[in-house]
Amino acid sequence: MKAIAANASPQAIHKTMTSGEWAMLAGLSVLWGGSFFFTGVAVKELPPLTIVTLRVGLAAMILTAILSLRGVSLPRAPSVWAAFFGMGLLNNVLPFCLIVWGQTQIASGLASILNATTPLFGVVVAHVLTRDEAMTGLKASGVAAGFLGVVVMVGPAAAGAFDGEVLAELACLAAALSYAFAGVFGRRFKRMGVPPMATAAGQVTASSVMLLPAALLVDRPWTLEMPGAASVAAIIAIATLSTALAYVIYFRILSTAGATNLLLVTFLIPVSAIVLGALVLGERLDARHFLGMALIGCGLAAIDGRLWRRLRRTNPQASALK
């Protein structure tokens, strides 16, 4: 899941989402859930660095073209571009590479569940690094439940043998941690006055600059066999649909419904990824993976807080974890 940065105008945000915003949120979950599916197709024929480089490179061209059509140009200030490179590293280069490599070892559905821990790490990182996002008792209980879910999923495999599957699961968790740091790092773009869509285009452009030399050096793509039609289609889809189009929808929801409502997409992404992986790739998850997902979902619900607020309205005595 991409880091959520609060760049929206407070006057335009409303707490209750409209039916159109719910539809966009569902669509966004399918697009981001689909990224795990598309990656699962592409990794069968292409190495991870090449996949990630093509993803961000194509997305950068599309988002830059969208900005041009809107009459918006990317900032030129060196300080802004330094921030783009920092955001690109935390929000694209590291997590994309870790997840894609992880999917060479584990199912796309499992990778998406582990990626759903991003808000859990986000609560901890924001508590440590910011002054205005202290951890409450309710959030702490959510973090504990979520990480218990991670232990349920990863623990048995790690206890048996520290093999490639465990390393892949840890890589996906490291990607979620990187997204969490990106969420805090991305707050600076609002202070810099950089429009959200320019932030999206700038970070994927910077990511492309960082990744291209590495892909040429490590993967030597000119030595690779031409991938099949399915892999080519997956790369195009992950760049155009799961990155460029997803960012357009993402910032549209963010501008009207806010970051809190946008956090709900975290609940939906694993559902899309698991369904696509099962129906098309023939993937199957163990019972412990679904139990872990349920615990992570409970943790995310606690962090989101709206179910707890409803409970407090119906039972005023349930306020101890405020």
Q: Over 70: is that where the pLDDT of 2 sits?
A: no
Helix (H) or strand (E) holding 313: helix 306-314
> What pLDDT, in 10s, does the model give residues 213-272?
999 999 998 899 999 999 999 999 999 999 999 988 888 777 676 666 666 777 788 888
> What pLDDT, in 10s, does the model give residues 163-222?
788 899 999 999 999 998 988 898 888 888 888 889 999 999 999 999 999 999 999 988
Place of tokens 């002054």: 131
Confidence band, pLDDT 50/70/90 cuts, at residue 160: low
Whether 4 and 263 have beta carbons less than 8 Å apart is answered as: yes
Distance CA 119, CA 116 (A): 7
| Tokens standing for residue 156 | 């048995």
Parse the chain into domains and list their residue ranges. 17-112+163-284
Distance CA 65, CA 269 (A): 27
**CA separation (Å) from 81 to 61, 70, 204, 205, 244?**
17, 21, 11, 10, 20
Q: What is the pLDDT of residue 6?
A: 45
Q: What is the pLDDT of residue 10?
A: 44
Average pLDDT across the chain, whole number: 85
Most distant CA atoms of the chain, gap in Å: 67
- The pTM of this model reads 0.85
